[in-house]
Structure formats: structure tokens, C-alpha cells
Structure 1
Amino acid sequence: MFILVNLKAYPCDPVEVATAARDVADDSGVRIAVAPQAAHLSQVADTGVETWAQHVSPNDYGSHTGSTLAEAVAEAGATGTLLNHSENRMKLADIDASLDAAGRADLETCVCANNPEQIAGVTALGPDSVAVEPPELIGGPDPVSDADPDIVRNAVEAAAAVDDDVDVYCGAGISTGDDVAAAGDLGATGILLASGVAKADDPRAALEDLVAPLR
């Protein structure tokens, strides 16, 4: 099970969260990565934790002011990137171009989608993984694995029907070890979460609870 912690633009200490994630990953043997703001990528990568970008833009070098260049993300220490999060939606052609950009920089990719139908569509573009995240549940108290377990099952089936080499992650409302276990029972091979760790008073304790069922 892969745990990807998206720090979004929350007012947390990215180095504190990254250090906690590194230590919990080392202690538990569970793969944990942290996706900070682009400006904090180097600081987070310097802790030794697996580091992901929250986004890369669908362009190469050139006149692209305000873009997040995949090569720059990789040079800062990131080894993967999210794409098409519900809070940063992209056109299908741009997702495809961002996947190409990530490929140039040798970044692992996870494309987010709202439902199984969209999961099938983005799986066809050839990412390493996809993540199903119903937007109405993001940041809420109810994990998708409880609120709508069929959407996770159906997303796993939809991705497998297109390309069974693409992993399927579960996001939205995940915050506890029980949520992680439930996601795994539904066929997910990873989880995305944000506020459950980024807003926690004790990020390490929150991460230890997440990995407890996986030890």
C-alpha cells in the first residue's frame, strides 16, 4: 500500500511533515511520499522522504511564465507528480501532454479523476497510477471507502479493463488506519490524503495510525 500525503497549500510545516513521513516509512516499511508546494520541493526532498510534485505543466522549456516545468521539479528532488486533482482540473489533451512532460523528466505519475468513467478515460493515457476522488468528499469527515465503496470497486474494475498494469489509488476523506484498510479491501493499492496529516496537531502520530493495519 502506497500512502501519498498532499500538503496542498495548507499552513503546515512541510519539513516537519516530511521528516515524520520519512521516519514512519523507515520504521514500518510502508511506502510514504509527500507532495508539498513547488517552492518547498527541495526542502522536503532534502529530508530523504519520497517527494512528489502536486502538478507539472503540459509544456517543455520555453516562454511559459507561471508554468511548473517537469524538469525543474525533478531537479528539485521530486520523483513523481499528481495530475488533474479536483482542485486543479485539466483538459484531457493537457493531461496527456503533462504525462509526456513527466516522462521526459522520469517522474512517476498519478492522474486523479472523479468517477469510474473518468478513471477509464485517464487510464487509457498510460499513467503509472490513477486515483479516484469524488470531489464532494474531499476534505470531509467521511472516507470514500465508507461513503461510496462501489465507486472504488468500480474504479478498480474500470482501470483494469483498460490496462491492468495501472495502479488504482483511493482518495477523499481518508484519515485513519481503518480507512486505509478499507481502501485495500476494495482493491486500491494506495491512498491519497491531505488534511488528515497536514492539519494534524501531531503529523507523526497521524501517520503511525495510518500504517498500523499495514505492519
Structure 2
Amino acid sequence: MSKILQEVAVDSNVKIVPVVQVIDAETIIDSTILDVWIQHVDPISYGAHTGWVLPEEATRVGVKGVFLNHSEHKFEDFSALIKANARCHEVGLKTLIFAEDLDELQKLLPLKPNFISYEPPELVGSEEESVATAKPEVIKDAFNFTNQVNIPLIVGAGIKSVADVEKSLEYGALGIAVSSAIVKSNEPKEKLLELIEGFE
């Protein structure tokens, strides 16, 4: 999959960032010219933390950034999210923090992540609706909030068509977070090329 992402990114001149499991990160980094992110780190420093993901180790293997607070791996304690974001920035990792609604999004603004993603969890993986079709006004409101503090907005959840991409960008998003539409496709490269058309 990383080879497909690289081919499409180079040919289209559209930035594509693979976000991978931490266990696969080093192998994928060695096989691609793309910036590779991982799906989570923990708010820890060196010490007794068996099974946790240390930000320094992500940096050591060449990871460039981290997803935090995805709906499938949310921080139950907001202070832990604050610390995880800070630890990432301490070691040179970029962060994208997910918000499931506008209330959560506004709480994230003072953390100053590199990106904020609005992704309503009920639409994640949806084959019927997308964030662009179901919640266009919320995308616009989310952009108004993030734009005030110069944090780029990414949107995700159910993105599966050129129209979804075009609408998301029209409403203020810098880019999209997409997974199911590509990894579940029988022709992932063709599906990715289709979505890329929305950036043209």
C-alpha cells in the first residue's frame, strides 16, 4: 500500500501521508520517500512503561507525526491528551488531534496541534453518508474556529467520492483523512486516484 501511495503522490503532486501502526513504522519508513505518521503515542517519558508507545522512539525510527484522540483510540483523560501533544512537540513530532464535535474541537485550540481533524465517530467507515454530505455546516463552523488560530483543518469520516473531497475543501478543509474507502477497495490505487481528482 505504501508503494501505491507514493506513486500517486509523486504523479499527482498531492501530499499523501500514510498513517500506520507503530509496529510497521520503521519498515515502511525505509521503503518510501513519503512522510510517515503513526496512529498513537502515549504521554510518557523514559521509564517503566511496558507496552506503551514512547514519543522518543517514534522520532528515532523516523516518524514525522502522530494521530491523537481518534474515535477508536480516544484519551479518556483530557490532561493525558494535553501531555501527549506536548511530549510530541518536545521531540519534534507533528500532531493531528481528532475532535468528534465542535465542543471538543474548541477545547483543542489552546493545545496548538499542527492540525485538527473534525471526524464525527458515527460516520467513520460509513458506506452511506460522509461528513461532507451529512454535516457540511459543521465543517464550515469547524473551519471558522480553527482558522482564527491558524490551525489547518482536516476532515474525515465516510469520505468516499470526488464530491466528498471537493465539498470538504470548499467548506474550508485543507485535506481529508481517509481509510476505509481505500483499504477496503478491490482496486485501491484506482480509488485513490479517483479521490485525488477532488484536489485538482
User: Is the TM value for this pair above 0.5?
Assistant: yes
- Please state how far the C-alpha of 1:102 moved relative to its aligned partner: 0.7
Tell me whether 1:145 sits opposite 2:132 in the alignment. yes
- Give the match's secondary structure for 1:208: helix
Separation of aligned partners in 2, 1:75 and 1:201: 35
* Per-residue Cα deviation, 1:66-115 (whole angstroms, up to 9, x for no partner): 11111111222210110000111112111111111111221111000111
Q: By how many angstroms is 1:49 displaced?
A: 2.2
Number of the residue aligned with 1:6: none
Aligned with residue 155 of structure 2, among 152, 162, 170:
170
Q: Which residue of 2 aligns with 1:160?
A: 147
Give the length in aligned residue pairs.
197
Residue among 20, 45, 64 paired with 1:60? 45
Gaps of 5+ in 1: 1-16
Aligned partner of 1:87 in structure 2 is: 72
Q: CA deviation at 1:174?
A: 0.7
**Match of 2:29?**
45
Alignment-derived partner of residue 117 in structure 1 = 103
The residue type paired with residue 147 of structure 2 is A
Task: Return the alpha-carbon distance in structure 2 between the equivalents of residues 43 and 176 of structure 1.
Answer: 30
The aligned counterpart of 1:25 is 9
Distance 2:195 2:173 in 1: 15
When normalised by structure 1's length, the TM-score is 0.88
How far off its partner does 1:158 sit? 2.2
Structure possessing the higher relative contact order (Cα contacts under 8 Å, 6 or more residues apart): 1
Q: Name the structure where strand makes up a greater proportion of residues.
A: 1
Q: What CA distance in whole angstroms lies between the structure 2 residues aligned with 1:77 and 1:207?
A: 25
Q: Equivalents in 2 of 1:128, 1:64: separation in Å?
A: 26
Q: Which amino acid aligns with 2:49?
A: H
* Aligned-partner Cα distance in 1 for 2:27–2:164: 29
SS at match of 1:124: helix
Q: Percent identity?
A: 29
Q: Is the 8 A contact 1:19 1:49 kept in 2?
A: no
| SS state at 2:154 partner | strand
| Aligned-pair CA distance for 1:159 | 2.2
Q: Which amino acid aligns with 1:101?
A: R
**Match for residue 193 of structure 2?**
208
- The AA in structure 1 aligned to 2:173 is A
Q: Does 1:108 align with 2:94?
A: yes
Partner of residue 113 from structure 2, selected from 118, 127, 143: 127
Partner Cα distance (2:101, 2:169) in 1: 18
- Secondary structure of 1:56's match? coil
Which string of whole-angstrom CA distances, capped at 9 and with x for unpartnered residues, describes residues 11-41 of structure 1?
xxxxxx1111111110011000111111100
TM-score normalised to structure 2 length: 0.94
